[in-house]
C-alpha cells in the first residue's frame, strides 16, 4: 500500500470506496481535507502556521455511512484520531466531562500509537536481549566471565574477562552457550522450567474523583503519584521457557522505549495532524423558537466551550501543553429536530464545509450487501465456512433482502443500512443454529427462502417494529 501520508485525494477516495457505498460528496470532502494536511506541512514558514484546517460537518440520517467514513478515515490517516460523542460533554461548572478532555484523550491515543511504532522498531534488540538473559538463567556464566547489567541489575549478556587466563573449560563455554541458543530457537527447551525475576505490576489504589468537569485529570495525576510512592518490586516466578522468554521480552521492551522521546513526538503529531470526529453534534444544537431556558442553556454552553478548542487554543495535559490550531474537526449529525443554522454563529463559521449524505435505497443496499471488502454476504459466507457449510446467496435473494430492508425502514424507524444486519440475522437464524450439526454441505439462499423466513414479520408492522 502507498505511504498514507502521500495519498492523493483520488487514491483516498478509492480506498474509501472499498468499504463505503455511495456518498461521493462526503468521501470527496474528507479526501481533500486529508490531503490539505500534507500540503500545509510542505508550505514554508511562517505562512504554514496561518493555514487553518477546513473543518467539515456531515449531515444525514442514521445508518448512511457517517460513522463508517470516520472509522475508515482513522485507518487511512495514520494520524492521532479520536471519535467522540458531542452529547456526553457538559458545560464548565456542571458534573461531567468538559470539552478539553477530548484533546487529552487524543494525546493519550497519540502516545500509544508512537509507543507501538517504537516497540516495533526495537523488536530485534529486545528479542536479542531477552534471549541472552534467558541463556544466563539456563547456563550461568563461569568464574572467568563478568556479567553486564541489564534492567535494574538483571543479567543481560556475558563478557569474558581479558585479565584472567582462558582455560579450556572457559573456551568451551561459548560453544556450549551457542548450542543452547540453537536449542532455544528450535524449541527443544520449551518444556524446561526456569525461575525468572520480573518486575511486579502492582495494582494502584483506585482514586475516583467525582466533581465538576475538568477534574478527571486530577484522578490520573493522583494515581501517578501513588505509583511513585509504591515503586515496583522484583518477584521471582517459575515458568516454562517460552513464557519466560515472552515475559523477559516485554520487560526489555519497556526498558528500551524512551518515553520522553515518545511523548515529545506524540505531542507534535497531535498538534500537526490530529483529527477529532465529533458525532451527534446536532444533540448540542439549540432547537429554534422560544427563549433559551433549561436544557437549551446547557447545549449553548457546550457550544461556547467547544468554540475556542475548534478555533485554536492551548490545552493543558499531564504530558504538556497542546495547541489545537491545526487539529482537524469533522462533525456529524442527523439534524432531525434541529438544523446546522441552530448552532451558535461563531461555531458555524468554524465548520466551513457542509456535506449532506443521501438516504440509501434498494440499489445501494444491494451494493452494500455484495460489493465492499467487508460486505455482509461475504461475512456470513466466511462464518458458515468455519462449520463446513458452503453458503450461497442467489442474486434474487440479495435483492429480496434489500427490498425488505427498505420496506421496513419506510414503515418503522429509518435506520439506514443498519437494518440489513437485523434482516440478515432473521433470514439466517435457522441455519446459524443448525450449521454445527450439518457437516460438509451446501446451503443456497433463494428469494423464496427469504420471503418464507420474513413473511409474518413484514406483514405485521407492530411485530416488525420490535423484531426487525
- 377-401 pLDDT, tens digit per residue, is 999 999 999 999 999 999 999 999 9
Q: pTM for this structure?
A: 0.76
**Predicted pLDDT of residue 289:** 47
Closest Cα partner for 357 from 17, 59, 67, 73? Answer: 59
DSSP per-residue letters across 39-56: HHHTSPTTHHHH-----E
Residue 10 pLDDT exceeds 90 = yes
Residue 4 pLDDT exceeds 60 = no
Top-ranked range on mean pLDDT: pick from 143-157, 176-190, 355-369, 449-463: 355-369
State the pLDDT confidence band at 97, using cuts at 50, 70 and 90: confident
Residue 186 pLDDT exceeds 90 = no
Residue 263 pLDDT exceeds 70 = yes
Distance CA 454, CA 361 (A): 19
State the pLDDT confidence band at 287, using cuts at 50, 70 and 90: low
* pLDDT tens readout for residues 223-249: 555 555 656 677 788 888 888 888 889
Asked if 390 and 431 count as a contact pair (C-beta separation under 8 A), the reply is no
**Predicted pLDDT of residue 425:** 92
Residue bearing the bigger pLDDT, 225 or 123: 123
The CA-based angle 64-80-67, given to 5 degrees, is 10
Q: Which helix (H) or strand (E) holds 395?
A: helix 395-411
**Predicted pLDDT of residue 162:** 44
The average confidence (pLDDT) of the chain is: 81
Distance CA 118, CA 112 (A): 10
State the pLDDT confidence band at 201, using cuts at 50, 70 and 90: low
Q: Which three cell numbers stand for residue 224?
A: 501517578
Q: At a CB cut-off of 8 Å and minimum separation 6, what does 100 contact?
A: 214, 309, 315, 316
Neighbours of 88 (CB within 10 A): 14
Residue bearing the bigger pLDDT, 168 or 399: 399
**Predicted pLDDT of residue 143:** 53
Amino acid at each position: 500500500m502507498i505511504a498514507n501520508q502521500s495519498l492523493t485525494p483520488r487514491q483516498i477516495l478509492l480506498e474509501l470506496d472499498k468499504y463505503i457505498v455511495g456518498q461521493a460528496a462526503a468521501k470527496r470532502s474528507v479526501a481533500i481535507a486529508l490531503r490539505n494536511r500534507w500540503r500545509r506541512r510542505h508550505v514554508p514558514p511562517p505562512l504554514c502556521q496561518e493555514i487553518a484546517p477546513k473543518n467539515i460537518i456531515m449531515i444525514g440520517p442514521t445508518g448512511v455511512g457517517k460513522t463508517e467514513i470516520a472509522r475508515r478515515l482513522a485507518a487511512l490517516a495514520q494520524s492521532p484520531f479520536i471519535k467522540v460523542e458531542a452529547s456526553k460533554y457538559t458545560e464548565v461548572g456542571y458534573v461531567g466531562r468538559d470539552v478539553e478532555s477530548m484533546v487529552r484523550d487524543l494525546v493519550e491515543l497519540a502516545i500509544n500509537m508512537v509507543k507501538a511504532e517504537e516497540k516495533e522498531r526495537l523488536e530485534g534488540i529486545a528479542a536479542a536481549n531477552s534471549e541472552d538473559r534467558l541463556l544466563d538463567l539456563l547456563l550461568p556464566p563461569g568464574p572467568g566471565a563478568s556479567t553486564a547489567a541489564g534492567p535494574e541489575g538483571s543479567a543481560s549478556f556475558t563478557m569474558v574477562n581479558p585479565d584472567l587466563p582462558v582455560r579450556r573449560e572457559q573456551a568451551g563455554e561459548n560453544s556450549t552457550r551457542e548450542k543452547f541458543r540453537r536449542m532455544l530457537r528450535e524449541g527443544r527447551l520449551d518444556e524446561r522450567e526456569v525461575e525468572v525475576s520480573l518486575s511486579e505490576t502492582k495494582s494502584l489504589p483506585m482514586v475516583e474523583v467525582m466533581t465538576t468537569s475538568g477534574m478527571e485529570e486530577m484522578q490520573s495525576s493522583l494515581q501517578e503519584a501513588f505509583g511513585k510512592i509504591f515503586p515496583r518490586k522484583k518477584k521471582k516466578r517459575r515458568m516454562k521457557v517460552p513464557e519466560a522468554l515472552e515475559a523477559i521480552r516485554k520487560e526489555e521492551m519497556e526498558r528500551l522505549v524512551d518515553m520522553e522521546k515518545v511523548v515529545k513526538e506524540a505531542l507534535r503529531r497531535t498538534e500537526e495532524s490530529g483529527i477529532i470526529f465529533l458525532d451527534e453534534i446536532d444533540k448540542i444544537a439549540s432547537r429554534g423558537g422560544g427563549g433559551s431556558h433549561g436544557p437549551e442553556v446547557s447545549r449553548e454552553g457546550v457550544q461556547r466551550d467547544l468554540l475556542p478548542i475548534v478555533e485554536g487554543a492551548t490545552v493543558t495535559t499531564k504530558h504538556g501543553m497542546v495547541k489545537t490550531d491545526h487539529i482537524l474537526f469533522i462533525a456529524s449529525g442527523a439534524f432531525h429536530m434541529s438544523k446546522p443554522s441552530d448552532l451558535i454563529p461563531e461555531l458555524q463559521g468554524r465548520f466551513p464545509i457542509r456535506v449532506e449524505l443521501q438516504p440509501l435505497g434498494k440499489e445501494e443496499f444491494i451494493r452494500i450487501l455484495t460489493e465492499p471488502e467487508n460486505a455482509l454476504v461475504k461475512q456470513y459466507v466466511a462464518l458458515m465456512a468455519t462449520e463446513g457449510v458452503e453458503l450461497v446467496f442467489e442474486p434474487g435473494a440479495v435483492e429480496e433482502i434489500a427490498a425488505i430492508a427498505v420496506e421496513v425502514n419506510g414503515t418503522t424507524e429509518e435506520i439506514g443500512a443498519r437494518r440489513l444486519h437485523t434482516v440478515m440475522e432473521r433470514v439466517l437464524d435457522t441455519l446459524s443454529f443448525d450449521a454445527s450439526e450439518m457437516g460438509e454441505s451446501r446451503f443456497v439462499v433463494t428469494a423464496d427462502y427469504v420471503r418464507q423466513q420474513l413473511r409474518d414479520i413484514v406483514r405485521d408492522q407492530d411485530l416488525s417494529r420490535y423484531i426487525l
